[in-house]
Chains A and B, each alone.
Chain A
Amino acid sequence: MSTTTVAPPSAGIPPRWADPAAAVAATRPRVSVFETAGQTLVMAWRALKKMRRNPEQFFDVTIQPLLFTAMFAYIFGGAISGNVRGYLPLMIPGIVAQTVLTTCMSTGVQLREDMEKGVFDRFKSLPMARIAPLAGPMVADLVRYLIAAGLTFATGAAIGYRPGGGAFGVLGAMVLSVFTGWALAWIFTWFGTIASNARMVQGLSMMILFPLTFLSNAFVPVSTLPGWLQAFVRVNPVSHLVSATRDLANHAVISSEVGWTVLACLAVIAIFAPLSVWGYKRQL
């Protein structure tokens, strides 16, 4: 039967069962940085394939920018800035920050769902870097942040937003928010590796994201808030992101807010990337 012959001698990879002692001698003690990068890219390839085949994964990065931008502009524009046009420079960077943050929340949820599938058993049994199955999808998610940020600016432009920072300012704002989304996604990836199911990840993430995005300067001027709330809003990292994005998009200025945001992001990566790998290993 043709299915029974397993390995014709001419096949490319030599059968390692011919000489197990040599196979043992050829094993490597650990993964190299180079291998880790390669494996991460393969995992990113996998995530992109899955995105293309499950387009409903793009709902949050398309619907939310379109809907929220228009909705917020027309509902709050008059009340806060007197008119919609005047509100846009304040609001659009806020929406960019908010959509990028909600987008990175789904990174954790999807990772959790993915990890429950049988294929993750295979990833765990392979001699591959433990960070690759986590970092791969995050690399692929850069596409989603880019769509979210790009669509928000585009919707803003359609309803009359004219960013003072010009093309470079907007580009800078997008790069910053995409980077922030990517960095913060490590927090949610960590949730994904320690939570017992996807709904728990969702719940945890919402609990953190809602106060962070709404108790910030994203949609209203800080001066209109009561004093105790102002104190929180000023230290909220989302406020720094929003201010930094405003400085870039509206004035093409790389302000100290940009510096603070980048610094905060680096701190988040330094803490949560190792925590995520630890959480993932713990599941073994």
Chain B
Amino acid sequence: MTQIAAIEAAGLVKAFGRLRAVDGIDLRVRQGEIFGVLGPNGAGKTTMLRMLATLLPVDAGQARVLGVDVAREPHRVRQLLGITGQYASVDEDLTATENLWMFGRLQGLRSRDARASAKRLLEQFGLADAGGKRLKEFSGGMRRRLDLAVSLITRPPLIFLDEPTTGLDPRTRGQMWDTIRGLAADGCTILLTTQYLDEADQLAGRIAVIDHGRKVAEGTPDELKASVGNSTLQLRLAPGADAELAREIVRRAAGAEPVLSPERGGLNVPLQDAGRAADVLIGFREAGVPIASVSVDRPTLDEVFLALTGHGTGSETEDAELEVAAG
């Protein structure tokens, strides 16, 4: 097809002093798809998004949004996209209705239309009862939903979502996912960043994995997961066990190369089929290799990273920080 790309970026660079936060990223997002940008904290996701949204000047490389150059015609680009940041960018001193009215007015809606659109969006996002409340009284989840509603006032062809569910509780997160799917079903193109493999997996048609400002992999969720297996066998050897023998057994029984995990004596084994875990364990018992603990899990972002880059995300504490939406 000859349709212009929703986003087309080549060699994007952004440096903060000596730190190259985004270090030569190429990106092509097709119209109508949900494209996921997956990476740990500090990978450069937000910086990249802000460059594409004209909020940060591009140091090198170029980017086009629906064919419009980001650096040369920022005003045009701003008319084509809505961005919902990692931190809600709505006015704390105003009510939800006032926020929607104001942002509608600022984008050229007449007062009456802005009011009608505010009412409609509040209903769509389940905030109809909270329209008159000031944002100070909003929960984290409500704030995020309002933030997204604001981005949709002019119903732009392109939506950027920067970590839309980080910090949300599981129920609110599920609602946000449904909303995003609904938007995509309507035909809106969505560029989404996330730290969670399962989120990218659930939502995105294609994923780019970003680390230290560089793209380390790109593909469909299935392709990415295939590179680390569909599940992971996590083993911890008992003290004194023969690590070399253990690796040999894993290679033979699972047909995969084990990855050393950060803990002492830890082995992670990517498995295409979780059933193969039994073969590995039987092999261990027959060879007399003692095991301290064992578990089978879905691959985590950390393992995808380990497989793709040879190092972890360095974000083991991430989930502990997952705060429940603030009251």
Contacts and interface: CB of A to CB of B under 8 A. Distances in A.
A pairs with B: yes
Interface in B102-157: 102-103, 105-109, 113, 116-117, 120, 123-126, 134, 145, 150, 152-157
Interface string A1-27: 111111100011111111011011001
B9 interface: no
B105 A38 contact: yes
A16 B178 contact: no
B54 A125 contact: yes
B186 interface: yes
Given A12-B113, A27-B80, A46-B91, A284 B57 contact: yes
Interface string B1-20: 00010100000000000000
Interface stretch (A87-95, A115-123, A184-192, A242-250): A115-123
A27 B68 contact: yes
Interface in A144-198: none
B78 A6 contact: no
B85 A14 contact: no
A127 interface: yes
Given A49-B93, A118-B90, A121-B85, A23 B178 contact: no
Nearest to A54: B93
A45 to B, nearest CB: 7
A211 B4 CA distance: 60
Given A46-B102, A125-B53, A284-B55, A3 B75 contact: no
Nearest to B156: A16
Determine the interface band of chain A, counting residues with CB < 8 A from chain B: 35 or more
B73 A29 contact: yes
B106 A6 contact: no
B252 interface: no
Contact of A118 (B53, B85, B108): B85
A16 B154 contact: yes
Contact of A2 (B66, B93, B126): B126
A35 to B, nearest CB: 7
A119 B90 contact: yes
B92 interface: yes
B296 to A, nearest CB: 33
A131 to B, nearest CB: 13
A50 B80 CA distance: 30
A15 B80 CA distance: 12
B6 A35 contact: no
Interface in A264-284: 284
B197 interface: no
Interface in A99-126: 117-126
A136 to B, nearest CB: 10
Given A27-B79, A28-B79, A121-B85, A13 B154 contact: yes
B83 interface: yes
A17 B125 contact: no
A118 B32 CA distance: 29
B155 A127 contact: no
Contact of A24 (B80, B145, B154, B179): B80
Interface string B162-205: 00000000000001001101110011110000000000000000
B93 A6 contact: no
A267 to B, nearest CB: 30
Contact of B124 (A3, A15, A31, A54): A3
Contact of A127 (B78, B116, B125, B134): B78
Q: Which 5 A-B pairs have the closest CB atoms?
A: A127-B78, A122-B89, A20-B157, A118-B89, A4-B178
Interface of A: 1-7, 11-18, 20-21, 23-24, 27-31, 35, 38-39, 42-43, 45-46, 49-50, 53-54, 117-128, 132, 284
22 contacts: A3-B175, A3-B179, A4-B178, A6-B186, A12-B113, A12-B120, A16-B155, A20-B6, A20-B80, A20-B189, A23-B157, A28-B75, A28-B79, A35-B108, A39-B105, A42-B106, A43-B106, A49-B93, A50-B93, A118-B90, A121-B55, A127-B76
